[in-house]
Chain A
Amino acid sequence: MDKKLNLFGVRHLSPGASFHLIQYLEEKNPKCILIEGASDASGMMQAIADERVKPPVALLAYTTELPIGTILYPFASYSPEYQAICWGVKRNREVRFIDLPSSILLKLKQEKQSEKDRERANAFYTFHNEIYDQLAQRCEENDYESYWERNFEQNLHPDTFREGLAYQSAQIREMVVAKELASVPYDFSYNLIREAHMRMEIQRAIVEGYKPEEIVVVVGAYHLAGMEGDLPPLSDKELKRLPRAASQIALTPYSYLRLSSRTGYGAGNKAPYYFELMWEAIQEKKLKDLPAIYLTHIAKIQRGKGFNASPASVIEAVRLAHALTSLKSGALPVLNDLHDAAVTCLGEGDLTSVAEAINRIDIGTAIGSLPEGVGQTPVQEDMNQELKRLKLTAYKSPVAQELQLDLRENLKVSSKEAAFIDLNRSTFLHRLQVLQIHFAEKMQVSQQSATWAEKWVLQWTPEVEIEIVEANLKGETLEIAAAFELREQLHDCTDIALSAKIIRQACECRLTSLFDHALSSLQALSTDSNNFKETAHAAHELATLIQYGDVRQFNLKPLVPILQQLFLHAALLLTDASSCDDKAANDIAPAIHLMELISQQHYETVSVEVWQKELHQLAWRDDLNAKLSGIAFSILLEHSLATEDDCAKEVSRRLSPGVPAELGAGWFEGLASRNRYALLSRVALWKELDHYIQQLDEKEFVRSAVFLRRTFGAFEPNQRNSIAELLGDLWEIGAETAAENLQAELTEKETEKLDELNDFDFDF
């Protein structure tokens, strides 16, 4: 390549690089600026440099057909590429992107993902990253970021930056390139093809008449060697042979939050707002004030939160940061020093108390904006695509329309897409729901337990358009945005039932990626929770998912261990939860039934043994809630873990005249709340009950009659008749006579007695 060509290697998202690049541009005054970036976005230079554009913004390339792929070029105000574009456009210079067109980049990236030997690839990237760490260690820095900041960002001397970075990158490239070819051949060739294309574009500019010395090429420093080497540029013929995916490219607003958490450009940028502060400081030529600016910001937030953070503390923090720097023989504190100074002087040595403030100043809350008419949001695009794919375009009308879905596979159609169209529709609509895009509302289905049926009402309003644009900030496609939203919710979630619900939503939205995260969060919450009821309900939610979830074509295996844990946890909480009053017992009883249901449905996975052991405890102990003890005992009976004899004994023990009537009757109520038919068949039980009643004196009898009446009130009429017949048999007056007596009208005296019972005054 021509030696006179002006090459400038940058680190993406670096204020230092921006500063030096602008100086370089001023010096070289190029007529043509060529920048690393998808070449089909060259037409958007004017839009990017538009004064009304407020960074952070991003160029987003995305496929318009399945599978979905995206490439992102985020620009912050301190991005060297962004600064170069603005510089060039303002002065009417030719500014172009020279990387492969996005259609090829996307396709190659998808192919590249089939890199076969994952392990070897990971080993290579670990090796690659370790080189940077070693470099930092050699210079006695704690990490590469500190090394970089100290040696490059803070280095504002002309010349040394460009040459130093070029030298370092060339050296590192030399160290890794052979191993790259051997370990990650796809990634290696992807880079080579891109560089060949960039060389081709440079060549084209020269052919068009720009002299090499009139051109400045801005690429990532790693690619410099690829620009300088002797390899030939890509030929038109070769370019034609490269595979392409149908794709679009758009300019979208971006946010610092996302800039810090994910990066499209390779190089990380964990502290965008800090770098913005640095960029401002560099421009105002007061970089040395940056530590004071940064720490004052932190102190201000701390004060806002009610912590003590006096100017004196800030002064101490700045001094400490400088002292830390002097230990490294540096000139100015780096972010790491500032963090440590903030923790030590403003947070009393405790990271957690300043973590939020540090996060806010590191990351910031900035969201970019675009003037009207510029760019088209990818989520809107995705929405339209999905509507088309799922044959829902007819519903895009202001009239509300009903949509019935049957999630089961339609066996009558040939293509897979058609067979699962309703399932896919449901997934799509659930995602909209998560994103609070009010296009569709879910209705109740009459047959509640039919998990395969859904009913929705769809209606398109102007608000929906706005909501879709807003969703754009969460991700480029509905899928990504929904996943982002759920992840955020999960992050803030402190309630175990809520997190179980999020898991269900993740299932409904088919967001597999979220699943692990959600499960571990649920697991974490369940560990902290001491609430039997909540835990049991969460376990039940999972159990139901596992049992019926496969209608959504979902791998439910990962749920199983969490279910096991929740179940065990709830089981161990049972005894504690059961020492409560009757009011609280009303909440706990259903949870016990749910747990028992789980233990029956999933007896192969959950630890039924522990559960039954806990039930045993509950059943035989006298100091816990009597009603719950009764329930536990009836479960034991069902499993023949208590014998007929035990039953008779326990009834007579619980229902003995010494025991307060409400306790005895409460116990019986619990016992009778499950499986009444089985109870009816246990003659010994009724004998004991009869015996108990016979023993009572008048006053006690009235009391317990009130409670027993309540218990039997919950029985079906025919069950009550059977009991009467049973008792009739016991009293040897014959079942039929008993039945007759019961059917007869109440006498006046009997009515009077019953009224008395109704008015019974509990003198508690």
Chain B
Amino acid sequence: MAEIKDDVLRLPSEWLYIRELDALKEEDKNEEKPDGWQLSPKAVLKFIVGGKAKGIDITPKYIGNNRLVEIAIATLLTDRSLLLIGEPGTAKSWLSENLAAAICGDSAKVIQGTAGTGEEHIRYSWNYALLLANGPSEEALIKSPIFRAMESGSIARFEEISRCASEVQDALISILSEKTIAIPELGRELPAKRGFSIIATANTRDRGVNDMSSALKRRFNIIVLPAPAQLETEISIVNKRVAEIAGNYRLKANLPKQEAVEKIVTIFRELRRGVTLDEKQKLKSPSGVISTAEAISLITNSMALAASFGNGTVSDADLAAGLQGAIVKDEEKDCIVWKEYLENVMKKRGAAWRGLYNTCSEMNA
């Protein structure tokens, strides 16, 4: 592993949590490990969901349904590849990075998929100067992250796989089923070493995303990462992130009151799931995505509003403006959705909600 300088903006997970990983390795010394794994499956699970090892607190990396993490780890145990899909802001990449870091101590073999990603980024390409000078040779070969992962028996990551063109995605099909890359130019093929696997992530909701062929999907075990299941989980995620972002941007507004965050998260959850928290009333969902990430940006936005144009305290009006913008994206329809929500749900919630209700209905009139 290369030396990491300390002025990088963001450390990869295996460096960020190096103490935790060392503790787990120590604790895990005598456990049987699958080929190519530096930790046993149970230790990997502990690294992701949190716990204690050798007196060191293992922070939870993924807050949510632990069972999904178990399925992910079990998938990698069977040498199948893993595809994490979900709406924006559901911690797909974060989970994939940490899984790779825990299993093979290297989360850097990554392909960042874009519309411009070509087949050579998945297989291999050539150093053309050498290629022209000496013809095809091992030295002239430029290996892709997947190539290197196959050589070393470790995990390659493929981010945003659905942003690549379908033909490019299909280059993966034979790699995944045969676990070899043929290099006809050198007259050989590269068989994958035990421990090789791919963790891919894909976004289901954004526009401008290519469909994945069912042939490719069949070769993956697919896990759908859901939005946070519990109100409390989501509130704590929002609180944590809002405080971090406010610190980063040095916003001069006070953090919003706890009840304001609770209200926003409640509204978002109810509209997202199309049912009130007590599950007694069905609601219509607006056309756009209203993810946890949007709740976070809504609250930081209202803080910016309050800091720049208000008295530094987030008011109902600041929140109402944010809500209107986040929920009513496609004019007509969303407007009615929001109005019905205001009248049927929010209005009946009593005095604590009255202020927000009033400003929201004014804004939505």
Question: B283: CB under 8 A from chain A?
Answer: yes
Q: Is A572's CB under 8 angstroms from B77's CB?
A: no
Q: Is B221's CB under 8 angstroms from A527's CB?
A: no
Identify which of B281, B283, B336 contacts A520 (C-beta below 8 A): B281
Q: Is A327's CB under 8 angstroms from B70's CB?
A: yes
**Given A348-B222, A523-B281, A523-B282, 9 more contacts at CB 8 Å?**
A310-B218, A320-B74, A320-B221, A324-B70, A344-B223, A349-B224, A520-B280, A520-B281, A573-B336
Q: Is A308's CB under 8 angstroms from B71's CB?
A: no
Please report whether the interface of chain A is mostly helix, strand, loop or mixed according to DSSP.
helix
Please report whether the interface of chain B is mostly helix, strand, loop or mixed according to DSSP.
helix
Residue in A326, A344, A520, A524 with the greatest tally of chain B CB atoms within 10 Å: A344
Q: Which residues of B are found within 8 Å of A142, using beta-carbon distances?
A: 67
The 7 closest A-B pairs by CB, nearest first: A349-B222, A524-B282, A323-B74, A349-B224, A323-B77, A324-B74, A319-B78
Interface residues of A in 299-326 (CB under 8 A from B): 308, 310, 312-313, 316, 319-320, 323-324, 326
Distance A569 CA – B336 CA, assembled complex (angstroms): 9
Q: Which residues of B are found within 8 Å of A576, using beta-carbon distances?
A: 332
Identify which of A327, A348, A569 contacts B45 (C-beta below 8 A): A327
Residue in A324, A340, A349, A572 with the greatest tally of chain B CB atoms within 10 Å: A349
Q: Which residues of B are found within 8 Å of A39, using beta-carbon distances?
A: none
What's the nearest-Cβ distance from chain B to residue A1, in Å?
A: 44
Q: Which residues of B are found within 8 Å of A349, using beta-carbon distances?
A: 83, 85, 221-224
Identify which of B41, B221, B274, B284 contacts A344 (C-beta below 8 A): B221
Stretch of B3-11, B138-146, B337-345 contacting A (4+ beta carbons < 8 Å): B337-345
Q: Is B75's CB under 8 angstroms from A323's CB?
A: yes
Given contacts A308-B214, A524-B282, A568-B343, contact A344 B222 (CB under 8 A): yes
Interface residues of B in 260-305 (CB under 8 A from A): 274, 280-284
Q: Which residues of A are found within 8 Å of B224, using beta-carbon distances?
A: 349-350
Question: B240: CB under 8 A from chain A?
Answer: no
Q: Is A344's CB under 8 angstroms from B282's CB?
A: no
- Which residues of B does A touch, CB under 8 Å? 41-42, 45, 67, 70-71, 73-75, 77-78, 80, 83, 85, 214, 217-218, 221-224, 274, 280-284, 332, 336, 339-340, 343-344
Given contacts A527-B282, A528-B284, contact A348 B75 (CB under 8 A): no
Q: Is B339's CB under 8 angstroms from A572's CB?
A: yes
Q: Which residues of B are found within 8 Å of A313, using beta-carbon distances?
A: 218
Query: Interface 1/0s, chain A 579-591, versus B by CB < 8 A?
Result: 0000000000000
Residue in A142, A313, A323 with the greatest tally of chain B CB atoms within 10 Å: A323
What's the nearest-Cβ distance from chain A to residue B250, in Å?
A: 41
Number of A-B residue pairs with CB-CB distance less than 8 Å in the complex they form = 77
5 intermolecular pairs with C-beta atoms under 8 Å apart: A312-B218, A320-B78, A349-B221, A350-B222, A523-B282
Q: Is A324's CB under 8 angstroms from B71's CB?
A: yes
Distance A568 CA – B348 CA, assembled complex (angstroms): 14
Distance A576 CA – B283 CA, assembled complex (angstroms): 19
Q: Is A568's CB under 8 angstroms from B340's CB?
A: yes
Given contacts A316-B221, A320-B75, A327-B74, contact A607 B67 (CB under 8 A): no
Identify which of B73, B83, B217, B336 contacts A327 (C-beta below 8 A): B73
Q: Is A527's CB under 8 angstroms from B343's CB?
A: no
- Residue in B closest to A337 when the chains form the complex, CB atoms: B74
Q: Which residues of B are found within 8 Å of A572, using beta-carbon distances?
A: 336, 339-340
Q: Which residues of A are found within 8 Å of B222, using beta-carbon distances?
A: 344, 348-350
Question: A175: CB under 8 A from chain B?
Answer: no
Q: Is B217's CB under 8 angstroms from A348's CB?
A: yes
- Residue in B closest to A310 when the chains form the complex, CB atoms: B218
What's the nearest-Cβ distance from chain B to residue A485, in Å?
A: 23
Q: Which residues of A are found within 8 Å of B85, using beta-carbon distances?
A: 349
Distance A313 CA – B223 CA, assembled complex (angstroms): 15
Identify which of B71, B217, B274 contacts A320 (C-beta below 8 A): B71
Distance A319 CA – B79 CA, assembled complex (angstroms): 10
Q: Is A316's CB under 8 angstroms from B41's CB?
A: no
Distance A51 CA – B1 CA, assembled complex (angstroms): 72
- Residue in A closest to B41 when the chains form the complex, CB atoms: A327
Distance A520 CA – B282 CA, assembled complex (angstroms): 8
Question: A443: CB under 8 A from chain B?
Answer: no
- Residue in A closest to B75 when the chains form the complex, CB atoms: A320
Interface residues of A in 493-542 (CB under 8 A from B): 520, 523-524, 527-528
Distance A312 CA – B282 CA, assembled complex (angstroms): 40
Question: A565: CB under 8 A from chain B?
Answer: yes
Q: Which residues of B are found within 8 Å of A340, using beta-carbon distances?
A: 67, 71
Q: Which residues of A are found within 8 Å of B283, using beta-carbon distances?
A: 527
Question: A434: CB under 8 A from chain B?
Answer: no
Q: Which residues of B are found within 8 Å of A350, using beta-carbon distances?
A: 222, 224
Q: Which residues of A are found within 8 Å of B339, using beta-carbon distances?
A: 572
Q: Which residues of A are found within 8 Å of B45, using beta-carbon distances?
A: 327
Q: Is A565's CB under 8 angstroms from B214's CB?
A: no
Distance A324 CA – B336 CA, assembled complex (angstroms): 46
Q: Which residues of B are found within 8 Å of A323, using beta-carbon distances?
A: 74-75, 77-78
- Residue in B closest to A519 when the chains form the complex, CB atoms: B280
What's the nearest-Cβ distance from chain A to residue B90, in Å?
A: 12
Distance A626 CA – B262 CA, assembled complex (angstroms): 47
Q: Is B343's CB under 8 angstroms from A316's CB?
A: no
Q: Which residues of A are found within 8 Å of B75, using beta-carbon distances?
A: 320, 323, 344
Identify which of A312, A326, A573 contacts B77 (C-beta below 8 A): A326
Q: Is B223's CB under 8 angstroms from A610's CB?
A: no
Q: Which residues of A are found within 8 Å of B284, using beta-carbon distances?
A: 527-528
Distance A729 CA – B344 CA, assembled complex (angstroms): 52
Question: A345: CB under 8 A from chain B?
Answer: yes
Given contacts A344-B223, A345-B221, A520-B280, contact A316 B78 (CB under 8 A): yes
Q: Which residues of B are found within 8 Å of A527, using beta-carbon distances?
A: 274, 282-284, 340
What's the nearest-Cβ distance from chain A to residue B44, in Å?
A: 10
Q: Which residues of A are found within 8 Å of B281, using beta-carbon distances?
A: 520, 523
Q: Which residues of A are found within 8 Å of B280, using beta-carbon distances?
A: 520
Query: Interface 1/0s, chain A 142-156, versus B by CB < 8 A?
Result: 100000000000000
What's the nearest-Cβ distance from chain B to residue A310, in Å?
A: 7
Distance A344 CA – B221 CA, assembled complex (angstroms): 6
Q: Which residues of A are found within 8 Å of B282, using beta-carbon distances?
A: 520, 523-524, 527-528
Query: Interface 1/0s, chain A 629-658, versus B by CB < 8 A?
Result: 000000000000000000000000000000
What's the nearest-Cβ distance from chain B to residue A338, in Å?
A: 12
What's the nearest-Cβ distance from chain B to residue A725, in Å?
A: 46
What's the nearest-Cβ distance from chain B to residue A271, in Å?
A: 18
Distance A523 CA – B344 CA, assembled complex (angstroms): 11
- Residue in A closest to B177 when the chains form the complex, CB atoms: A312
Q: Which residues of A are found within 8 Å of B77, using beta-carbon distances?
A: 323, 326-327
Distance A527 CA – B273 CA, assembled complex (angstroms): 13
- Residue in A closest to B224 when the chains form the complex, CB atoms: A349
